[in-house]
Amino acid sequence: MSVKCSFDWVGGIAGVRSLIVAVAILASSGCATFWDDVTSREFKFNEMFQPPQPPLQVLESTQDGDKRARALSRLKEPLRHGGSQSDQDVVVKVLVDSATSERQALCRIRAIESMREFKDPRIVEGLKEAYYRAGSFSPEMASIVRIQALDALGYGGHPEGLDLLLKVALEPIAVGAEQDRQMKIDERMAAVRGLGNYPDSKSAGALIEILRKEQDVALTDKANHSLEKITGHKGPRDAGGWSEYLAKHPSLGQRHWYEQIMFWQR
**In three state form, how does the secondary structure of the chain look?**
CCCCCCCCCCCHHHHHHHHHHHHHHHHHCCCHHHHHHHHCCCCCHHHHHCCCCCHHHHHHHCCCHHHHHHHHHCCCCHHHCCCCHHHHHHHHHHHHHHHHHCCCHHHHHHHHHHHCCCCCCHHHHHHHHHHHHHHHCCHHHHHHHHHHHHHHHHHHCCHHHHHHHHHHHCCCCCCCCHHHHHHHHHHHHHHHHHHCCCCCHHHHHHHHHHHHHCCCHHHHHHHHHHHHHHHCCCCCCCHHHHHHHHHCCCCECCECHHHHHHHHHC
Q: How confident is the model at residue 27 (pLDDT cuts 50, 70, 90)?
A: very low
Handedness of CA 240, 242, 244, 247 (dihedral sign): negative
Length of the chain: 266
Domain definitions of the chain by residue range: 1-51, 56-134
Predicted local distance difference test score (pLDDT) of residue 246: 87
Predicted local distance difference test score (pLDDT) of residue 163: 96
Q: How confident is the model at residue 249 (pLDDT cuts 50, 70, 90)?
A: confident
Q: Which residues contact 144 (CB under 8 A, 6 or more apart)?
A: 105, 109
Q: How confident is the model at residue 9 (pLDDT cuts 50, 70, 90)?
A: very low
Strand partners, 255: 252
Predicted local distance difference test score (pLDDT) of residue 177: 86
Average pLDDT over residues 3-23: 40
Pick the residue with more confidence: 20 or 87?
87
Predicted local distance difference test score (pLDDT) of residue 196: 95
Torsion angle, alpha carbons of 232, 236, 237, 241, to 10 = -110
Average predicted confidence (pLDDT) for the chain: 81
Pick the residue with more confidence: 109 or 180?
109
Alpha-carbon span 127 to 108, nearest angstrom: 10
Q: Which residues contact 64 (CB under 8 A, 6 or more apart)?
A: 42
| 48 pLDDT higher than 80 | no
Average pLDDT over residues 96-125: 96
Give the closest residue to 196 by CA, choosing from 167, 163, 229.
Answer: 229
The pTM for the full model equals 0.76
Predicted local distance difference test score (pLDDT) of residue 29: 36
* Segment 31-44, tens digit of pLDDT: 444 445 544 555 45
Predicted local distance difference test score (pLDDT) of residue 94: 98
* Segment 63-75, tens digit of pLDDT: 999 999 999 999 9
| 3 pLDDT higher than 70 | no
Pick the residue with more confidence: 26 or 127?
127
164 C-beta neighbours (distance < 10 Å), count:
20
244-253: which pairs have CB atoms within 8 A and are 24 or more residues apart? Answer: 246/204, 246/208, 251/201, 252/199, 252/200, 252/201, 252/204, 253/200, 253/201, 253/202
Predicted local distance difference test score (pLDDT) of residue 14: 43
| 209 pLDDT higher than 90 | yes
* Segment 131-182, tens digit of pLDDT: 999 999 999 999 999 999 999 999 988 899 999 999 999 998 777 788 889 9
Q: Which amino acid is at 91?
A: V
